[in-house]
Amino acid sequence: MTALGISLVTFALVFGGGLLGMYLRNILSERHLPEDVKDIIKLSTGLIGTMAALVLGLLIGSAKNTYDTKSTQTRQIAANIILIDLDLERYGASAHDLRKVLRSSVPPIVDRIWNKDASTKATPFAAVREAAEFIKKVQALQPTNDLERALKTQVEGAAGNLAQARLSLFTEAHDAIPAPFLVTLIFWLAIIFASFGLFVRHSQIAIISIFIAGLSVASAIFLILEMGQPFSGLMRISSETLVHVLAPLAP
């Protein structure tokens, strides 16, 4: 289910819980809700509310960390590509064809990250053909002086870092909040909203308040799920940095 779908289900459950609480409040007489019963309900709900708040805070922090990490990894990929191109430019005319291969390898890398790696279905890791060809050509270079040998070593190191960054994105592409964890949190929230409605009589103001609060909670769940999948959805990381990372190579 998509982040929007889960958020809508969350809103329906918590808002429905609030309405259920108000319905129970209308059909129960005062003798069913003496002060000691109200106190235990409030204490229990307070405990659940504290746990839910802690879990929500933890999930928001974790999702933001995931989003920032993957954003940093894409910037590292772009930086390594630029570094490789600059080193090849310094290497000289014999590396001109390598720079062409490097440019041809960028679009497939972008496609793998923003399309396949963003898929909700796990797929086996596959090397980009153009990237593999580039590595072979780098290894086939025959440096003739110390500068060229140093540049070849730098290019090989940067290419290794680039491959490691992409592999990290692949292994983390399908990280998600465990379903039982999310179901438990939504269940807690529904209980909390039901307790809200249990202590108020049916009125438009009460319904509007519960509606707004339910919408806020569902929005938080939506943001958490969206940040956990940063290569798709409304909060996707822009691919423009990688798409335009290298200027066209003059003939």
Mean pLDDT by 10 residues, the chain (251 residues): 88 92 76 75 89 90 87 89 90 86 86 66 61 83 88 89 82 70 90 86 86 93 87 83 78 58
Alpha carbon distance 224, 57 (integer Å): 10
Alpha carbon distance 201, 26 (integer Å): 7
Q: What's the pLDDT tens digit per position in 140-174?
A: 888 888 998 999 899 889 888 888 888 887 776 65
Q: What is the dihedral of CA 169, 170, 171, 177, to 10 degrees?
A: 80
Q: What integer pLDDT is reported at residue 122 of this predicted model?
A: 53
Q: What's the pLDDT tens digit per position in 10-20?
A: 999 999 998 88
Residue with tokens 């002060």: 35
The alpha carbon of 218 is separated from its chain's Cα centroid by a whole number of angstroms, namely: 17
**Domain extent listing, the chain:** 3-243
pTM: 0.76
